[in-house]
Structures are given as structure tokens and as C-alpha cells.
Chains A and B, each alone.
Chain A
Amino acid sequence: MQLNSPPTQSSTPVLLSSLPDPGIQDQTCPRRARIEIDLMLLALEALELEGSEAILQTAKELELDEIIPDRVMLWRLRNTNPLRRHNQRRPLTLAEAKALVLVGCYMARRLTVLIRQLVLAYQQLHERNLAPAHHFRLNDYLERFRAHFRSRMNPRRAAVAENYSDEKLNQLALTLLTELLFCTGTYGVQRFWLSLFDGEVG
């Protein structure tokens, strides 16, 4: 009994064409893009419990499940991030990267209210010189982000080791939160997508 008949090779999902090709030489993602995409999804997982389930669910909703069919594939794509403990030495194609970015931005848009609240809370605390930990929900996010980051990134990589302290990771988490806010906008996906290739085109 074979349930999974091989998927018919249909054309690339329509949604992918909403993102322009960045005009880089090869069709695979540069290093910084692979890091940023994975970190952005990591931040979403810190915002939303069962985040990885939500990623798969969203991929299905957006009909991108041909590219992100299951957990194993998702794990592989995300592990193209060179900072991961289990870095996969495979390239991340532009189509795969687009799918991840679309899913991430779509999730961010669904979490708009929460993201706005948290960015605002951070601002207010920052104005009063208070640590982000004073805000319950924000602290929750930061704690989860730190835990996710530490459990998945390779501390033997200098780039990870340098950012291992609570303070540095909080800073990174807050930067990502701001990025997520901008991802929720009308052209959020396009803006985030093209920002991944800044400084990469000839």
C-alpha cells in the first residue's frame, strides 16, 4: 500500500513569482541570507508556541508544501544556516529561500498585533532605561529565543560564541523583532527578501 504517490512535477508555485530575483550570479543563497532566514524563523518560533508546526501549516496554506513538505525537509532547509550545530552542506536555492521567506512573513503578518505590542513595550522600557525583562510577554519572548538559539546554534562558531551572552542574545532577538514588524507591512515580504541580498550583487 503506497499512499504517497510521487507528486506530479507541476510548475513552481505562483506565489514565488511575487518575489523578484535578486540578480545575484548563481541561483543559491549567500551566507548572510541563509543565516537571516533561519534566525527570522527562530524569532517566530519564540513568539509562537508550536512554531515549527505553524511553519508547516502555513506552507500548506500557501501551497508551498511542495518545497516544504515535512519537518525533515524544513529541518534541512533551515540547517543550511552555517551557524547551526548540524549545518547541512547543501545550498539553499532561491526558490527554497523564497518559500521560507513567504511563510515567515505570512506568519509575522498574522502575529502583527503581538509584534507591535512587543516593539512598543521595548520602546517604552528603553525610554525609561528599564531592562526588557520587566515586560512579562517580552521577557517570555527573549527567554524562549535565547533557549532556541543556544540549543540549535553551534557555540564553536566564533559568530555564535561572541553572541552567547544573555545581553547579546536579547539584543539580537530585539533586532529580529523589529525586522518582523517591518515584514508585516504591505511590501514587507519584498522588503525583507531584497534586504537579504544587500551588498551581494556585483
Chain B
Amino acid sequence: MTVQRLYSLPNCSLFLEGMGEMISLTPTDARVPMATLINVECRLAGEEKPLSGGREFLDNLAVAVSQYTQALLSGLNVKATSKVNTGLVQLEQVNDTVHRLKVTPQEGDNHGVAAREILLNTVQLFDLVEALDQLLADSQTLPDLKLNLKPLARREVAKEKAGPSQVLPGAIGVASLAAAAVALALLPTPKVQQPQDLYPVRTGETATGNQPKASASPSPSPNQASPTASPSPGASPDLTTLAANLGNANEITDTEELNALRQELRTKLENAWGDRAANTQDLTYQVGVDKDGTIRGYKPLNSVSAEKASATPLLDLLPRTTEAAGAMGLFKVVFTGSGNVDVASWREVMTSPISGVTEITSTAELNAILPKLRSAINQNWDKDASFNEELIFKVRVKPDGSIFDYNPENDAAARFVDQTPLPKLGKPVDAAQTAPIDTPIAIFKVVMTPPDGALEINPWRGWQD
């Protein structure tokens, strides 16, 4: 009995005609397995006549396409991709986006295959790969035809790049990255020795009974450091040690890593903070977290926070041992009276010009200020702008919605600031300003997007929930 199969994609359809397996278990079995192939037609978008042939053609097509795809993915120049078992079908790269599919019938062995050359773009090639892969994955059609992938062996990968027609220009980027990486691998890796004695070094401030010596001795006596260095095991870590931990550690400064640690810390604290209704005040701490995300130390930033530390989950989350931590990420953590946990990178808090300022961070207040800021900007702006890149500003806003100051955060913003209403509404950030600002300040990220000056305003530190 004749069985037909169609695998159809936007740019390619594969139509198979063959003989079904004789033993059909039940007459109602909708899909009789196809055991032998009579003919296959491969229709490609833009081609009037389909490619067609028998089993040999299909096998060759499947292997050639598969190997070519793997070469495209690995970006490695493959020796003789098309020579092995793919006599009828070859593929080669024309340029970044065009691939040439060649069908060459072999002498005296014409299986009804006509010589053809078809140019495929990448999406068409993908559709061809996908149609074939769907066929391979279909266990009811030619079950002996399966995905047969193996990584290429070392000797199969060409050592040097061949002529331009065989090189995969699109993959040069990755290939050269890889090649250079291999070259770099040959260089010896310098051994980095982690200093062992990072902790504790600040003996003068915390050690008890430490008397300044009249004559500075180059080698401090060993027992000076011991009182804080080894707290009695089992005792809960005392505050001075924890605070000292912060001061002594190497600081992690990579923004990406800090960001990962920050989000981790926030989740951890959110999950662990049980009775938050009991807390009515903002409790603020500097918290140090090691590379694993474990809290290694904290320091209350005011007396209330010191007294009420037990109302926070910080103590629960500390490890029982106070072993020396390596590098630490430092964060400013606020357990707000309204039951939120706010975690910000310590460096960001300290280096942005907001120290000495009360920052507005609660969602409700930010929500109230945002529309005021938006309308202030919109009212003063005809949006007839000539910039063609996003402009990003950090804008500090007073509770009444008026702009305190602003700072361009990307190049375009600095160049085109004069075309925005910001200079009318506020002043640029004064780096030299040290006088405290007497009103609370909310910080927003203002993004103006060309072409029509769409305005996007968000809290600088994101919404709290």
C-alpha cells in the first residue's frame, strides 16, 4: 500500500511517497509506518521545479545538509565536508547569508536526479534542515533513517583556512576567537596566591588591652590579634567582629557580580524575614556578602538599627563560624517600616551624590512623584528633537515633583541635553556640591527615545516590589 508523508515549512516542503509496512496492526491505525521510499520531492521557495529522487538522493541530501549545518554551527572549516557519502548533494557557502545547494548526478548512475544549483538564504536553509530533521525524528517514516551526529575528530577539522569559497565567512568571528583562545591556552597561567592574612588586621581598634607602644616595633606581638581572631567556638558572633569583617575584606567591585549578589541577598532576606509587621522603623545596615552569597558581616548604621538587629533576619543568616571570608560584596540594606527590604550596592550608594540625603524609596511616594515629573517634562517640551539615539538621564526630584538636578548617563544624553527641557527645569549635578540637601529626594531614570521623544520614567533603583 502506498503511504505519503509531507513535512512542510514556510520555505521548504518535503514530500515522500513510499510503501507501508504490510503488517498494519489495526485497520484504524491512522498512520501506517513507511518502510521503503519510492520517491521524494523537495520543494524550495522560489524554485518552480522540486528537487526529486529516490532513497540515495534523500540519504545524500540528509547527510550533506546535516554536515553543513554542523560546520555552520561550530564555525570550523571542515575538510571535505561534501566528499563523504554525499556524492549527489553538496553545499557550500557563498557569503554571509547565501548558501549554494548543488545536485550533481553521477555518471551512468542517474537515479532520475537532474543537475541543479540552487541558492538558499539562511532562513531557507534552516527550513530545509528543519524539514529533514522532522523526517528524521518521525519514527513512523523510514525508521532506519535517524539523526546521526558525532562531533568531528581532530583530524577532520582543517588546520588552516582554505580558499575563500570554502571558508565560512559568517563564522570567522567565532573561529578567530576560538583560535586565539587556543593560542592563549599555550601560555602558562600565572598562579594567583590568595593572601592568607586578610583577617583580622585591624587589631588596634578592636583588640582589648592593646596598649600603644612607645617604640614602634616592626613585629607586633602575636597575642595582640588573638582576642578577636578566634572567638570561643559556639558563641554567637559578636558585633564588633562582624563589623570588623566588613572593614577588612577585599571588596568585590565587578558590577555584574555585585548585581547577582545583590539580588540573591534581597531574595534571601525577603524569604527569611518573618515578623515584619512588628517593625515600624527603617533599620539600615551595611552588609558584607562573600562570593557564595553567604552573609559574612554586618554593621548597623544608626543606634535604632543596632538595638533592633534581632528583629531582622540578619543574625539568623550568619554562619555559625566566623572564619575569614575572602572578597566581599558590600551592600546597604534597609528593612523599611512598611515591611520592605531594600538592598543597594554600597559603592553605588556612596559614589552617587546622594550621601547626606534622605532618599525616597517607597513605592507609594515614588508613584505620587512620577506623574508630576512626567507632566513637568512634557509641558516644557515641544518634542521636535533631532537626536537619533536614546537619551538617558539620572534625575533627582523633590517631593513636589520639581527637578533638583539631573545628570546625563550616556553620551547622547550629554550631547543633546540642550534639546530637552531639563536645563529649564533644573540644574546639572554639581559634583563639587557637599552641602547637605534639606529635602528628601527621589531618583528617577528618565529615558527619551527618538524619533518622537517618547518619555520613559522609572525609579532609579527600580520598584520595590
Q: How many A-B residue pairs have CB under 8 A?
A: 177
> How far is B74's CA from A192's CA once the two chains are assembled, in angstroms?
8
The residue of chain B having its C-beta at the shortest distance from the C-beta of A81 within the complex is: B181
Do the beta carbons of B137 and A187 come within 8 Å of each other? yes
Name the residue among A35, A70, A185, A199 with the largest chain B CB count within 10 angstroms: A199
Residues of chain B lying within 8 A (CB to CB) of residue A120: 121, 123
How distant is the Cα of A35 from the Cα of B177 in the complex, in angstroms? 9
**Option from A163, A186, A197, A198 in Cβ contact (under 8 Å) with B173:** A163
Select from chain A the residue with minimum beta-carbon distance to B173: A172
A181 within 8 A of B: yes
Q: Contact mask B54-75 → A, CB, 8 Å, 1/0?
A: 0000000000000001111111
- Cβ of B219 within 8 Å of any chain A Cβ, yes or no, is no
B122/A181 in contact, CB under 8 A: yes
B179 CB contacts on chain A under 8 angstroms: 159
* Minimum CB distance partner of A31 in chain B: B181
Expressed in whole angstroms, the Cα–Cα distance for A190 and B69 within the complex equals: 12
How far does the alpha carbon of A2 sit from the alpha carbon of B76 in the complex, in Å?
50
Task: Determine whether A130 belongs to the interface, using a CB cutoff of 8 Å to chain B.
Answer: no
Contacts of A197 in B (CB 8 A): 151
Chain A residues touching B, majority SS: helix
List which B352-399 residues lie within 8 A (CB) of chain A.
none
CB of B97 closer than 8 Å to a CB of A? yes
CB distance from B317 to the nearest CB of A (A): 9
In the complex, the chain B residue whose C-beta lies closest to that of A170 is: B173
CB distance from A200 to the nearest CB of B (A): 6
> Is B115 close to A, CB under 8 A?
no
7 more A-B contacts (CB under 8 A) besides A120-B123, A163-B173?
Answer: A1-B272, A72-B261, A82-B185, A119-B126, A175-B173, A186-B134, A192-B73
Contact A75 B173 (CB under 8 A): no
Tell whether A134 is near chain B: CB-to-CB under 8 Å: no
The distance in angstroms between the C-alpha atoms of A158 and B70, with both chains bound, is 27
Contact B157 A75 (CB under 8 A): no
A162 to B75, CA, bound (A): 17
- Closest CB-CB distance, B174 to chain A, in whole Å? 6
Residues of A within 8 A of B293 (CB): 70, 72
With a cutoff of 8 Å between Cβ atoms, the chain A residues found around residue B156 in the complex are 199
Q: Is the CB of B257 within 8 A of A199?
A: no
**B178–A186 CB distance below 8 A:** no
Interface range on chain A (Cβ under 8 Å from partner)? 35 or more
**Do B149 and A159 touch (CB < 8 A)?**
no
Binds B, one of A5-13, A59-67, A92-100, A121-129: A121-129
Tell me the minimal C-beta distance from A6 to chain B in angstroms.
14
Q: Which residues of B are in contact with A by a Cβ distance under 8 Å?
A: 69-76, 78, 95-97, 121-123, 126, 129-130, 133-134, 136-137, 147, 149-154, 156-157, 170-174, 176-185, 189, 254-257, 259-261, 263-264, 267, 271-272, 274, 291-293, 313, 316
- Chain B residues contacting A185 (CB-CB under 8 Å) are 126, 129-130, 133
Given contacts A195-B73, A201-B151, contact A85 B173 (CB under 8 A): no
Are A175 and B174 in contact, CB atoms less than 8 angstroms apart? Answer: yes
Chain B residues contacting A86 (CB-CB under 8 Å) are: 254, 256-257
Cβ-closest chain A residue relative to B153: A201
Residue of B nearest to A34 (CB): B181
Q: Say whether A187 contacts B174, CB under 8 Å.
A: no
Given contacts A123-B97, A126-B97, A158-B184, contact A194 B149 (CB under 8 A): yes
- Min CB distance A123 to B, Å, is 4
Residue of B whose beta carbon sits closest to that of A185: B130
Least CB distance from B314 to A in Å reads 12
* B271 A3 Cβ-Cβ under 8 A: yes
Closest to A88 in B: B291
Min CB–CB distance B138 → chain A (angstroms) = 10
Report how far A74 CA is from B313 CA in the complex, Å: 25
- A-B contacts, 7 of them at CB < 8 A, read A70-B264, A82-B184, A123-B97, A181-B122, A187-B136, A187-B137, A202-B154
Of all chain A residues, the one with the shortest Cβ separation from B313 is A1
User: Judging by beta carbons under 8 Å apart, are B257 and A200 in contact?
Assistant: no
Interface membership of A191, Cβ < 8 A: yes
Chain A residues within an 8 Å CB radius of B180: 157-159, 162
